[in-house]
Structures are given as C-alpha cells and as structure tokens.
Structure 1
Amino acid sequence: MIFFKGFFGKKDTIAPKPVPPATVSASVPVNDLIEIPAFIPTDPNEYELVSVIATAIAAGDYPKSQFVVKNIMKRNPEAHLVSLISASIAAGTMPESKFVVKKISQVK
C-alpha cells in the first residue's frame, strides 16, 4: 500500500514566489507603427479574368456548380519584398531552417 500512497497521498508543496514583471522600454513607441497588409485590393479591371480562372479551377469535375466571388485581393508587393529580404538574411545564419513572416510594421 505504500506504493499507492506515493501517488495519492498529500505532498507538501511550497508556493513559489511570484516573479515581478520586468519593465522593458522600447526605443520606438508602439503608437508610431503602421502595419503593412499582406494583401491589397485588386484593380476592378482584373476582376473578370480572376473570377473566371478561380471558378474554373474550383468547379473541377462539377461543371454544373455555381460560384460567387465576393472579394479579390492580390499580394502586396512591398510586404512580399520585405518578407523575402528578412527571410533571406535569417536563412544566411541558419540555412536548414524555415521562416514565416507573421506581421510587417513600418515606422511612421
């Protein structure tokens, strides 16, 4: 029964002391950052071509199906360039790694 007492018996626990949060002062205030979106709205002249291609791919083997394209966005070239440059620099030190850029911000 001593075996089960080790699992189910009460243990003396000492409550750990709370660690005070460290104060970090940023060199740039958070309010001065502008988030760069990953996707931007497409030119209305390109809607028809993109809609036809997207619905043709989505239809696949079901030609009688119907699709409604609600929103068409394209990749932001500025965000794409920044993510490529930053991932390339990071890959220079760690070539076997993979990198994902979650958010890009610009100082005002």
Structure 2
Amino acid sequence: MSIFKNMLKKNKQVTPVVDETGEEYSAEACNYQPLPAYIEASPEEYSLVSLIAASVAAEDRPDSQFVVKKIFQRNPEAKEVSLLAASIATGMNEDSQFIVRKIAKKK
C-alpha cells in the first residue's frame, strides 16, 4: 500500500530557473500569455471558404442550407514556433515525432 502512496504522491516543489544573467525565475513570477493556435481569417477569405465548406457539407443534397459563422486560420507565428521547437527537439533522431500542445510568450 505504501508503494502506491509514494508513486501517486504529487511533489509540488518548484525549482527556480536561472538565466544567463544569474537572475532566478519561477513559473509564478513570469507573466506569460498564451499564443492562440488559430486566429480569425480576413474578411476577403470568407466568401471562398464558405462556398467550399458549404459545397462539401451539402454533397448531393442541393436543398440544404448552411451558415458559416466563424472562419479561423492557422496562426503563422504559432506554426513557425512549433516547427522550430519540434525540429530542435528532434535533433539527430529523424524518426521521432512531437506534438506541441501549448505555446506562450512573455508579456
């Protein structure tokens, strides 16, 4: 029983991060804002994307009607950061795969 207690016990120690200048940073002290993976598309793209999405969704039912309320596109900054991070993490092992779940930037 004590084996499971030790394995499942959560350790809440926070180790400070030290940068090149010698200053310590903790997760609580740094203010980060999340970088969204998707941003709203420009109004010029709405008509083409709405037309394609409605035609794919309708298939062979010409009587159906669709209303596209919001259109999002991939955030180019988040795409570039995730690509760089995964490339650096891969290193020499070309067969590895990574998933970037969250990106945040300092305020």
User: Following the alignment from structure 2 to structure 1, what is the Cα–Cα distance between the partners of residues 95 and 82?
Assistant: 18
Partner in structure 1 of residue 27 of structure 2? 29
- 1:36 maps to a residue whose letter is L
User: Following the alignment from structure 1 to structure 2, what is the Cα–Cα distance between the partners of residues 63 and 105?
Assistant: 44
Partner in structure 2 of residue 57 of structure 1? 56
Give 1:22 shift: 4.6
Give 1:24 shift: 1.3
Cα RMSD between the aligned structures?
2.1
TM-score by length of 2: 0.73
Q: What percent identity do the matched residue pairs reach?
A: 46
Partner in structure 2 of residue 107 of structure 1? 106
1:30-45 aligned within 5 A: 30=28, 31-45=30-44
TM-score by length of 1: 0.72
Runs (4+) of structure 1 exceeding 4 A deviation are: 17-20
User: Following the alignment from structure 1 to structure 2, what is the Cα–Cα distance between the partners of residues 58 and 20?
Assistant: 47
8 Å CA contact 2:14–2:26 kept in 1: the answer is: no
Partner in structure 2 of residue 87 of structure 1? 86
**Alignment: residue pair count:** 94
Q: Secondary structure at the match of 1:97?
A: coil
Of 48-57 and 17-26, deviating more is 17-26
User: Following the alignment from structure 1 to structure 2, what is the Cα–Cα distance between the partners of residues 97 and 105?
Assistant: 23
Instruction: Compare CA radii of gyration and give the structure with the larger one.
Output: 1
Q: Which runs of 5+ in 2 are unaligned?
A: 17-24
